[in-house]
């Protein structure tokens, strides 16, 4: 079935030419007496109905054409509307053909019409953004600040691997207050494992993120995430990758309006579920204690830092306890962080932050850290069990290696 | 349009009757093949205002060769330029900026009375003599013939009252919705700033509605009621005369598109409407006629009532979180439709009762974020309901029909046109607001009072098309139009700005039964 409109849009001709083409085709085929073709016509004109005149525009079948024309008092135009093989009982399909044709050529639907309007000029999206930016500054800020942060963190990524440990200490002061600093350890051996996870993370993250970004910003954020993933994974430094990932995505999340929080919580819950599954599975195949201890770093509020930093801590802590050498290390501690978000509201977040500590204090801190774990509201039963286990373990270990003076020391000196 | 006449002398003197002459002129080579009847030619050149220039006539005049022929090889097809007219929006008074609902609604009535009292006093003096006593209710003396000015209140037994519904002593079940809430036992009371008094006498109480400000002439009886002998309303305000236009320009009015509804038939009609306005449908004559349509006004109810989720307000949020509202898809379809229109003609979009904007009057314009495709064009104007603008010097004022429907429910008037006229004479767009019609609690002034008389006064979503030209006491001329609901009638209206006439356009298609097709011939 072909209507004049779909023909004109497909061939890119003026609508009147399309109508004439249809007529010509019809005549031609009829002369050749090839398979039956049916046509519908459009009739417009003046119609008097119960004393009131109205302008009537109608689609009529060919067999009703003459009848219709006789009823009208003044005929303004008649032309072929559509040509089809089957006899149409209902005019519904005509609409669907036109609808499809228009949908395919939505942007230039009026290009081939007989009327051109000089005033109808589409304002470019850039100008529209500028117009919208004036009353809606909070909306534009995340976009801007997000890009700023990305460039900042990527520039910082370069000097960091070079400076090594010292880079970490200076980084903390350099980082903006809004940046969530993650635990960064220059473990080279963790790189291969973490690179994989980092690569997986942006890909996996793109999908949940797509859920709560709008169409335009989704492309931006996904692009940003993917670009960084590409860049940083090439450079083989996983830390900047997840850090800037986390920062950018985290930041674009924070100033989101409260309506998005619901979706945030949804995706957080999804992640929690995934993690829950992961954590429950872990003790089952490996029932060793070592696996329990790495699970103690508790679930965190910020989504972004979870996976690879956790893996890092898991792998790092066992190595720490084994080494026995007093080394000044960085460690995750639960701290409250207060900052002003884009809407000008103060937000207080409890998050894990890196803090340097020395080995000797570790034993005292370990039980406290373990106790703090249940605070995390989204803790799941699996983790609670682990926490309890680790709680039990920690005091036990501290008692063994503690510096508590034994009462026998009093007698031994004699 | 300049037509160079060929040889031939056309004599025109005042007594020349265009109907009687019929001649064919061969116009010069620029317009070959044109043969025009003399009557129509004269109409075009000399702008014969007596003749009815309907859209059909205009299109028929400009007709070119028929399209029932083979395509000519070279030419692309004529393109006409859309006529562009000066346009000014006067709807600022209907924009509510900061909203505060902590105020009482009584302030609107106070503002209304304060604003209309001097106007009514003037009318009263014109009607009953300049020495008529205009008194306040507190100064009334029994037996004295005088005139009082105040707000009418109609106490109706059947009027749904939330207090009665929740009152335990009455044990009433919620009242079912009725078509009309008037009854024989209704009482009319006149209120002014301080007091109120019951009215009785010869007047049609069924025609009156609560909230109208009137002046009443009569006397107070001993039992405390006021006997009415005569009453008058504020009548039409002054009107700036509209400019005399030289050629025919049209404005298309449509309402009740009803997208998202279950009526699929109306979609084809809607597509035909869009095609006609954008100049794709019809012969060259029709297309050039369509180029004279300078503007399209969509007066409300772009979405159908079906898109209103009945469950949305009652169901718990956690149950409805994942389901998409019915209006989302409908708005997307509307956006695509608007895109086709705005690429070719300036469009004003007014919200209606079922559209996603606030419920109370004045309804604020729809937000452009819902129309990502079409809001790229600056020809899309999202306007408030009520709407007031001046198109080429012709002042348009109208609503999407909620005010008219409300008055219809609380009075004996049934015809939308009659109600429109009544509101014009009351000089108030929506007298029943805020009593039975939702309204924002204004307190400084009442924006629904007509300050300047419009040239075209319309209301949308009427069951049928009706139009009437009325004359005011001070020489005003107003065209009243009730725009029919497109989803059920497939009819829109064309207003000719030059002659202030309105013509309906109906779009029909064929369907399975021949009988059904005849039914689709709308009888007005």
Q: Which whole number is the average pLDDT over A80-104? A: 82
How high is the pLDDT of residue A126? 63
Asked whether residue B463 carries a pLDDT value surpassing 70, the answer given is yes
Give the lowest-confidence range in A224-233, B58-67, B232-241.
A224-233
How high is the pLDDT of residue B29? 41
Vertex A113, ends B372 and A128: CA angle to 5°? 25
What band does A382 get if pLDDT is binned at 50, 70 and 90? very low
How high is the pLDDT of residue B65? 64
Give the lowest-confidence range in A139-148, A157-166, B439-448.
A139-148
Q: Which whole number is the average pLDDT over A217-245? A: 44
Burial annotation A350-380 (CB, 10 A radius, 16+ → b, else e): ebbbbeeeeeeebbeebbebbeebeebebbb
Instruction: Identify which has the larger pLDDT, B266 or B380.
Output: B380
The helices-and-strands tally (H runs, E runs) of chain B is 13, 19
Q: Which positions in chain B touch A90 (Cβ < 8 Å)?
A: 510-512
What band does A202 get if pLDDT is binned at 50, 70 and 90? very low
Q: Residues with Cβ < 8 Å from A295, sequence gap 6 or more?
A: A279, A282, A283, A314, A383, A386, A390
Asked whether residue A282 carries a pLDDT value surpassing 60, the answer given is no
Per cent of chain A over pLDDT 70 is 35
Instruction: Identify which has the larger pLDDT, B102 or A364.
Output: B102
What band does B433 get if pLDDT is binned at 50, 70 and 90? confident
Q: What is the mean pLDDT of chain A?
A: 59
Per 3-state DSSP, what percentage of chain A is helix, strand, and coil (rounded to 5)?
Answer: 60, 15, 25
DSSP string, B472-485: -TTS-EEEEEEEEB
Give the lowest-confidence range in A111-115, A250-254, B186-190, B297-301.
A250-254
The string of pLDDT tens digits covering residues B269-328 is 888 899 888 888 878 888 888 888 888 999 988 888 877 766 666 677 777 677 777 788
Of A4, A23, A110, the CB nearest to B68: A23
What band does A231 get if pLDDT is binned at 50, 70 and 90? very low
Q: Which positions in chain B touch A56 (Cβ < 8 Å)?
A: 505-508
Q: Does B319 touch chain A (CB under 8 A)?
A: no
Cβ <8 Å between B510 and A117? no
Q: Does A23 touch chain B (CB under 8 A)?
A: yes
Q: Does B510 touch chain A (CB under 8 A)?
A: yes
Q: How many CB pairs under 8 A join A and B?
A: 238
- Quote the CA–CA distance of B289 and B276 in Å, as a whole number: 10
The string of pLDDT tens digits covering residues B92-147 is 788 877 778 888 888 889 999 999 999 999 899 888 888 888 888 888 888 888 89
Q: Does A86 touch chain B (CB under 8 A)?
A: no
Most trustworthy range by pLDDT among A168-182, A313-327, B349-363: B349-363
Cβ <8 Å between B70 and A103? no
Q: Which positions in chain A touch B62 (Cβ < 8 Å)?
A: none
The string of pLDDT tens digits covering residues B180-198 is 888 888 889 999 888 889 9
* Chain B, nearest residue to A26 by Cα: B70
Q: Please answer whether residues B473 and B413 qualify as being in contact, where contact means their C-beta atoms are separated by less than 8 angstroms.
A: no
Residue of B347, B310, B343, B344 lying closest to B325 (CA atoms):
B310
From chain A residues 216-245, the ones with a CB under 8 A of any chain B CB are: none
Q: Does B102 touch chain A (CB under 8 A)?
A: no
What band does B478 get if pLDDT is binned at 50, 70 and 90? very high
Q: Does A30 touch chain B (CB under 8 A)?
A: no
DSSP string, B295-346: EEEEES--B-GGGS-SHHHHS-HHHHSSSPPHHHHHHHHHHHHHHHHHTTS-
B contact test, residue of A19, A44, A136, A263 with most B CBs within 10 A: A44
How high is the pLDDT of residue B242? 84
Residue of A15, A33, A32, A21 lying closest to A83 (CA atoms):
A21
Instruction: Identify which has the larger pLDDT, A372 or B85.
Output: B85
Instruction: Identify which has the larger pLDDT, B169 or A208.
Output: B169
How high is the pLDDT of residue B255? 92
Q: Does A17 touch chain B (CB under 8 A)?
A: yes
Tokens of residue B446, six digits: 């009442």
Asked whether residue A378 carries a pLDDT value surpassing 50, the answer given is no
From chain B residues 277-316, the ones with a CB under 8 A of any chain A CB are: 278-291
From chain B residues 322-341, the ones with a CB under 8 A of any chain A CB are: 336, 339-340
Give the lowest-confidence range in B36-45, B168-177, B198-207.
B36-45
Query: What are the strands of the beta sheet with B347-350, ordered from one edge?
Result: A2-3, A74-84, A38-49, A52-61, B501-508, B491-496, B250-254, B293-299, B347-350, B380-382
Q: Does A404 touch chain B (CB under 8 A)?
A: no
Cβ <8 Å between B287 and A5? no
Q: Does A117 touch chain B (CB under 8 A)?
A: yes
Q: Please answer whether residues B51 and B43 qualify as being in contact, where contact means their C-beta atoms are separated by less than 8 angstroms.
A: yes
Q: Half-sphere exposure of A352 toward its Cβ, with a 13 Å CA cutoff? A: 27
How high is the pLDDT of residue B404? 92
How high is the pLDDT of residue B475? 86
Cβ <8 Å between A118 and B81? yes
Q: Residues with Cβ < 8 Å from B177, sequence gap 6 or more?
A: none
Q: Does B85 touch chain A (CB under 8 A)?
A: no
Most trustworthy range by pLDDT among A75-84, A356-365, B260-269: A75-84
Cβ <8 Å between A110 and B340? yes
Of B71, B378, B508, the CB nearest to A56: B508
How high is the pLDDT of residue B253? 93
The string of pLDDT tens digits covering residues B324-346 is 777 888 888 889 889 888 888 88
Cβ <8 Å between B81 and A117? yes
How high is the pLDDT of residue B470? 92
Q: Which positions in chain A touch B503 (Cβ < 8 Å)?
A: 53-55
- Quote the CA–CA distance of A378 and A375 in Å, as a whole number: 9
* Chain A, nearest residue to B73 by Cα: A17
What band does B455 get if pLDDT is binned at 50, 70 and 90? very high
Q: Which whole number is the average pLDDT over A263-278? A: 48
- pTM comes to 0.62
Of B71, B342, B345, the CB nearest to A17: B71
How high is the pLDDT of residue B446? 87
């Amino acid at each position: 079935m072909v209507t004049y409109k779909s023909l004109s849009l497909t061939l890119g001709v003026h609508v009147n030419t399309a109508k004439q083409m249809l007529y010509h085709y019809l005549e031609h085929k009829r002369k050749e007496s090839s398979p039956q073709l049916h046509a519908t016509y459009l009739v417009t004109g003046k119609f008097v109905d119960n004393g009131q005149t109205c302008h009537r525009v109608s689609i009529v079948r060919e067999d009703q054409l003459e009848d219709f024309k006789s009823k009208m008092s003044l005929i303004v135009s008649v032309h072929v509307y559509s040509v089809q093989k089957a006899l149409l009982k209902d005019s519904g399909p005509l609409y669907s053909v036109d609808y499809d044709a228009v949908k395919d050529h939505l942007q230039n639907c009026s290009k081939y019409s007989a009327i051109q309007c000089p005033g109808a000029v589409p304002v470019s999206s850039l100008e529209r953004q500028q117009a919208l930016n004036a009353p809606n500054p909070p909306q534009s800020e995340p976009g801007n600040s997000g890009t700023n942060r990305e460039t900042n963190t990527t520039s910082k990524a370069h000097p960091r691997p070079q400076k090594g440990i010292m880079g970490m200490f200076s980084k903390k002061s350099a980082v903006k207050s809004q940046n969530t600093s993650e635990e960064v350890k220059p473990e080279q051996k963790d790189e291969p494992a973490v690179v994989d996870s980092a690569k997986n993370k942006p890909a996996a993250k793109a999908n949940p993120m797509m859920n709560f970004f709008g169409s335009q910003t989704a492309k931006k954020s996904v692009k940003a995430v993917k670009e960084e993933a590409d860049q940083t994974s090439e450079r083989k430094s996983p830390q900047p990758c997840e850090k800037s990932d986390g920062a950018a995505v985290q930041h674009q999340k924070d100033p989101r309006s409260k309506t998005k929080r619901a979706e945030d919580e949804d995706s957080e819950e999804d992640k929690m579920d995934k993690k829950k599954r992961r954590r429950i599975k872990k003790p089952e195949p490996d029932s060793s204690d070592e696996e329990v201890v790495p699970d103690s770093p508790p679930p965190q509020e910020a989504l972004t830092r979870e996976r690879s930093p956790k893996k890092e801590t898991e792998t790092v802590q066992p190595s720490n306890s084994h080494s026995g050498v007093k080394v000044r290390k960085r460690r995750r501690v639960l701290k409250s962080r207060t900052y002003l978000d884009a809407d000008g509201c103060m937000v207080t977040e409890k998050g894990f932050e890196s803090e340097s500590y020395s080995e000797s204090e570790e034993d005292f801190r370990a039980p406290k850290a373990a106790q703090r774990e249940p605070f995390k509201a989204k803790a799941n039963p699996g983790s609670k069990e682990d926490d309890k286990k680790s709680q039990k373990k920690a005091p036990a270990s501290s008692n063994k290696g503690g510096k508590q003076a034994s009462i026998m020391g009093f007698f031994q000196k004699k | 349009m300049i037509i160079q006449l060929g040889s031939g002398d056309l004599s025109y003197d005042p007594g020349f009757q265009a109907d009687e002459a019929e001649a064919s002129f061969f116009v010069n080579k620029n317009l070959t093949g044109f043969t025009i009847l003399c009557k129509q030619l004269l109409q075009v050149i000399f702008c014969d205002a007596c003749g009815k220039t309907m859209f059909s006539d205009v299109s028929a005049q400009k007709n070119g060769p028929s399209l029932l022929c083979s395509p000519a090889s070279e030419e692309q097809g004529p393109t006409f330029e859309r006529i562009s007219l000066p346009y000014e929006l006067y709807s600022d008074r209907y924009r509510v900026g900061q909203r505060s609902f902590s105020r009482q609604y009584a302030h609107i009535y106070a503002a209304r009375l304060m604003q209309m009292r001097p106007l009514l006093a003037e009318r009263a003096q014109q009607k009953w003599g300049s020495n008529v006593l205009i008194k306040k209710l507190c100064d009334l003396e029994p037996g004295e013939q005088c005139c009082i000015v105040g707000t009418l209140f109609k106490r109706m037994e059947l009027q749904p009252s939330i207090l009665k519904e929740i009152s335990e002593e009455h044990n009433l079940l919620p009242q079912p919705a009725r078509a009309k809430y008037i009854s024989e036992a209704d009482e009319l009371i006149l209120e002014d700033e301080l007091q109120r008094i019951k009215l009785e006498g010869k007047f049609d109480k069924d025609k009156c509605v609560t909230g109208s400000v009137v002046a009443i002439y009569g006397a107070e009886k001993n039992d405390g009621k006021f006997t009415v002998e005569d009453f008058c309303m504020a009548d039409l305000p002054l009107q700036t005369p509209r400019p005399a236009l030289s050629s025919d320009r049209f404005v298309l009015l449509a309402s009740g598109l009803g997208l998202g509804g279950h009526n699929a038939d109306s979609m084809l009609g809607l597509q035909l409407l869009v095609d006609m306005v954008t100049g794709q449908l019809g012969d060259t004559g029709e297309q050039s006629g369509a180029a004279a349509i300078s503007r399209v006004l969509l007066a409300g109810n772009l979405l159908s009532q079906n898109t209103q989720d009945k469950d949305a307000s009652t169901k718990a949020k956690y149950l409805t979180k994942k389901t998409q509202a019915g209006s989302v898809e409908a708005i997307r379809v509307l956006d695509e439709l608007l895109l086709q229109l705005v690429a070719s003609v300036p469009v004003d979009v007014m919200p209606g009762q079922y559209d996603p904007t606030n419920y109370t009057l004045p309804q604020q314009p729809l937000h452009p974020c819902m129309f990502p495709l079409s809001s790229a064009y600056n020809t899309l104007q999202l306007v408030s309901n009520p709407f007031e603008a001046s198109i080429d010097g012709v002042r348009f004022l109208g609503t999407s029909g909620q005010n008219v429907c409300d008055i219809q429910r609380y009075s004996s008037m049934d015809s939308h046109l009659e109600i429109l006229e009544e509101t014009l004479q009351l000089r108030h767009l929506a007298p029943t607001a805020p009593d039975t019609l939702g309204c924002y609690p204004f307190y400084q002034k009442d924006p629904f009072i007509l300050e300047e008389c419009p040239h075209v006064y319309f209301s949308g979503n009427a069951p049928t098309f009706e139009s009437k030209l009325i004359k005011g006491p001070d020489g005003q001329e107003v065209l009243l139009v009730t725009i029919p609901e497109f989803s059920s009638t497939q009819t829109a209206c064309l207003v000719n700005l030059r002659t202030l006439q309105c013509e309906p356009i109906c779009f029909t298609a064929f369907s399975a039964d021949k009988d059904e097709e005849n039914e689709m011939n709308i009888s007005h």
